Amino acid sequence: MESVFAIFLLIVLMVIGVPVAWAFASVLAFLVWVFDVNTQTLLLQGFRGLNSVILLALPLFVLAGYLMQAGGVATRLITFMEASVRGRKSGLGAAMIMSSGIFGAISGTATAAVASIGTIMITPLATKGYPRAYSSALLGISSLLGILIPPSITLILFGVVTRLSITALFAATIIPGFLLMIGLIIYNNIASRGFLAEFQKQEAANPLPGGPVPTLAETDGFWKSAFKAVPALMMPVIILGGIYGGFATPTEAASIAVVMTVVVGFLVYRTLTWRSLVGNILKAGETTGTIILILLFSMMIGRIMVAQSVPQDLTHAVTAVTENKVAILLLVNVFLIFVGMIMDDISVTVVIAPLFLPLVTSAGVDPVHFASIVACSVVIGANSPPMAPILYLACKIGKASIHQAVMPALRMILYVALPVMLLVTFVPELSLALPKLFGAY
C-alpha cells in the first residue's frame, strides 16, 4: 500500500508543477521514512548503478542535439527534405515529418527535434496554408520519432535500469519508428487536402504583390540542397552503421556524433562559433545533470520497491485476475498511456517500465519487445492532455493555442500512433526481427 501511495504521490507532485527531479527526491524521502531504509547502503547502490560506461552516451547525445541546432545541421536537413517533396500539395508537412525522423537519428531526443525543426518550419508551413494549430500538433507527434528511431536517450535509460542490451533496444524500435513516420505522412496527405485547397483559392483570389516568397529549398533547387545536406545526411549513416556494423559501441557512436557535429558546424556549414559551442556545452551539462538526478533517485526508489517485493506483488495481483496474455498487454498499454499523459518519458521509462517488466515477462513477453511497447506509449502520452509536455512545447514554438491543437493531435493519435502501438504490441516480430538479424539479441 505504501508503494502504491508513493507512485500516486509522484504523479500528484508532477501535476502541481514540482520539478521532476525534486518530485522523485520527495518520493524517495517518503519511502526511506516509511520503510526505515539504511540511507548509506541505498546511496552506495544508487551510485553503483550510475557507474556505467553506457551512461556516457547520454551527455554526448544530448550535446550532439544542442550542437545540431547551433551548427546548421537541422536547417540543411529541412531544406533538402523540402526540395525532395516540392510540387506535392502536402509536401511541406511530409518534409517536417521526415526531417524529425532524420534529426532524431542523430540527436536521440524529442525536445531537440521540436525546438530545431519547429523554429525553422512552422512559419513556412503557415505561409503555405497550414493552420498553426495543426502544424504544432504534427510537430509534436513527429518529434517523438527521435525516441523510436535510434539512437534514443529514452532507450539508453531503459537499458540502464533493466540491464538490457542498448544495441538490441535501438534495433527494436526502428520498424515501429518507420511505421509511425509513414502513417503520419499518409495522414497528413489526407488531412491537409481541405485547408490547402481553400488556401489556394484564397491565394488565387488575392495574389501577393510580386508572387509568394520562395523558400530556401525553392531557391536552391533539389541538387544544390542535396549537396549542402550531404554532411548532415551522412551523420546518421555513420552513427548507426558504426553501431550495427560492430565498429562502435553506442557510447563510442555518441562520441562520433559530437565530433562530427562540431566539425560540420565549424568547417563545413560555418555557423557554429566558439561562443555558441561553450553555451551549448553548458546547456547540455544542465540537461544531463537533471536526467542523472532523476535516474539516481529512481534507481534508489526501484531498490526499495524490489526489496519490498512490489513488482512481484503487482504480478501476483494481475495474474490472479487474468492470465490471458492479450488482456495483460491491453491493461499495460492503457496504464502506460495514462501515466504518460501525466509523467514525462524519462519518468515513465525509469520507474513505471521496470515495475511492469516482471509482469509482462511472466506473460511471455520478451523484454526487448516490451521496451518497444513502452517507447510507442510515450509517443501517445507525451501529446495527450492534461500534461502533454511535448504538445505544449510544440504549441509554444509554433505560437499556437493549445486548445486548438488538442483535437488535431488526438486525431493523429487515434488514426496513426495508437494503431502503430497496437501493431507493435501484438506483432512481436516488428520489434524482434531486426535485433535478431543484427545479432544484437
- The answer to whether 365 and 325 have CB atoms below 8 angstroms apart is yes
Distance in angstroms (rounded) separating the CA atoms of residues 120 and 397: 10
**Beta carbons within 10 angstroms of residue 38's beta carbon:** 10
86's torsion region: left (phi>0), alpha (psi -120 to 50) or beta? beta
- 230 CB-near residues (< 8 Å, 6+ apart): none
Distance CA 394, CA 382 (A): 11
Domain annotation covers residue 1: no
In a domain, 426, yes or no: yes
Name residues whose C-beta falls within 8 Å of residue 53's C-beta, 6 or more positions apart in sequence.
Answer: 249, 251
> DSSP letter at 324?
-
Residue 120 lies in domain: 53-194+213-437
Q: Is residue 289 part of a domain?
A: yes
Q: Taking the C-alpha atoms of 177, 180, 186 and 188 in order, what is their torsion angle to the nearest 10 degrees? A: -110
Classify residue 7: in a domain, yes or no. no
| Domain presence at residue 24 | no
Residue found under cell 509482469 = 359
Number of domains present in the structure of the chain:
1
* Cell representation of residue 327: 488482456
| Residue 27 falls inside a structural domain | no
Residue 162 half-sphere exposure, CB side, CA atoms within 13 Å?
29
Structural domain includes residue 44: no
Instruction: Record the cell numbers describing residue 162, joined without a space.
Output: 533493466
In a domain, 266, yes or no: yes
List the pLDDT tens digit at each of the 441 positions of the chain. Answer: 666 777 778 778 877 778 878 888 888 888 888 888 788 888 887 788 777 777 788 888 888 877 877 777 777 877 777 777 765 667 788 888 888 888 777 777 777 778 778 877 888 888 888 899 999 999 989 988 888 888 888 888 888 888 888 889 989 999 999 999 999 999 999 998 888 777 677 766 666 555 555 555 556 667 777 788 788 778 778 887 888 777 888 888 888 888 888 888 888 888 888 888 899 889 888 888 888 888 888 888 878 877 777 777 777 777 777 888 888 899 888 888 888 887 777 778 887 778 888 888 888 899 999 999 998 988 888 888 777 778 888 888 888 888 899 999 999 999 999 999 999 999 999 999 999 887 766
The DSSP output letter for 54 is G
Q: Are 207 and 70 in contact (CB under 8 A)?
A: no
Task: Check if the beta carbon of residue 27 is closer than 8 Å to that of residue 2.
Answer: no
Tally the C-alpha atoms within 13 A of residue 191's C-alpha that lie toward its C-beta: 21
Q: How far is CA 282 from the centre of its chain?
A: 22
